[in-house]
Amino acid sequence: MWMWLRTLLPEPEQVAPFAGDADGINWYNVAQNQRFAVLRKGGLMNLASTWRFALFWGAGCFFLAQQVGREWLLLPALASLWFALGLYRRYRLIVDTPTSRLSSSAQGYVELSGTAALPDGESSRGLPHLPVTVWLPGYVEDQPFLLEDAFGRCLLYPQAAEIVTRTGDNHLFLLHAIYPGQTLYALGELRTQRHAHSNVSQERRERLAVLLADWKRDDHTLLQNFDADGNGQIDPDEWQNVLAAAQQWVDADIREQQRLPGTHVMSGAQAGQLFLITNIPPEQLARRYQWAAWLHTLAWWGLMAAAHIR
């Protein structure tokens, strides 16, 4: 349902990079884009796990009881139950999912931890005059970025991810962003795209044919390398040498490709499971979800009791 709700939130307003304040940024637009984007990417559940939300929730319930009637408290009570279940599920997923090392890259639903980095060939990302970011809500939301550990790298596609960030990682203390080098935690479906080993013989034949066709096109080089008796043509015996050399070349190339590590990718999760990316330490985030789940459970009970009191 939240996926549908998030589509209702306004899309970021485009910022003309050098049309704004003296430093080239329209700070009002930045703040506005961040506000909606944080909710759109982080989801309502993350909002429901904050202290600010608790205050807002308490005040809203008080207003409802005073102005509309106590029996109407059943509605926020049910919403609190929904928050409690969602937050408890998130807490359990973080605590109960084993960590995969990128060196062995166990496939399936796993958690990864490492540091954030920009993909190869990209040196800056984000807004001008701001520190380089790998993810900046409202501006750079869907471009992939890397999670690196000591043994490998995984490309994260954040389009379908729930992204929870903390603020205050630089002098722009209200900015929600993920910066290169920050500790990153990801929970989702890991798959590794590898050079196929299964059909090596067929691939070998095809590559051999392509290579030989390529060599045949360049008569001069072929004769120079393989015309042993210098009669200006490749005899059957000499052709066997050409074949052997081509086979050796293809085999060496296939071996080299097999040695290359696969590309690890995380782009979602199966069947409604959570795909989470965060720069908050997982223990801290799990604790936050756990407390918020219990508080919402208490709110559920409390609000139902309050609705019953005459």
Q: Would you report the helix, strand and coil content of the chain in percent, each value rounded to 5? A: 50, 15, 35
- If binding is defined by CB under 8 A, does position 273 make contact with other proteins? yes
- In the list 74, 130, 155, 172, the residue contacting other proteins (rule: CB under 8 A) is 74
CA 294 to each of CA 2, 141, 162, 237: distance values in angstroms, whole numbers, following the listed order? 22, 31, 22, 82
Specify which residues 193 forms β-bridges with.
263
With CB under 8 A, what is the number of residues at the site for other proteins? 33
Residues 208-214: contacts with CB under 8 Å, at least 24 apart: 208/246, 208/247, 208/250, 211/246, 211/249, 211/250, 212/242, 212/243, 212/246
- If binding is defined by CB under 8 A, does position 244 make contact with other proteins? no
- If binding is defined by CB under 8 A, does position 193 make contact with other proteins? no
- Given the rule CB under 8 A, which of 21-29, 57-65, 80-88, 124-132 is the region that contacts other proteins? 80-88
Rounded to a whole number of angstroms, the minimum distance from the CB of residue 291 to other proteins is 17
- If binding is defined by CB under 8 A, does position 96 make contact with other proteins? yes
- Given the rule CB under 8 A, which of 45-53, 76-84, 168-176, 206-214 is the region that contacts other proteins? 76-84
Nearer to other proteins, 34 or 97 (CB): 97
- If binding is defined by CB under 8 A, does position 281 make contact with other proteins? no
- Cβ distance 268 to 162 under 8 Å? no
Concatenating the DSSP letter of every residue in 153-202 gives: EEEE-GGG-EEE--S-SSSSTT---B-TT-EEEEEEEEEEE----TTHHH
- Given the rule CB under 8 A, which of 15-23, 88-96, 137-145, 174-182 is the region that contacts other proteins? 88-96
Residues making contact with other proteins (CB under 8 A): 71, 74, 77-78, 81, 85, 88-89, 92-93, 96-101, 103-104, 106-110, 197, 255, 258-259, 273, 300, 304-305, 307-308
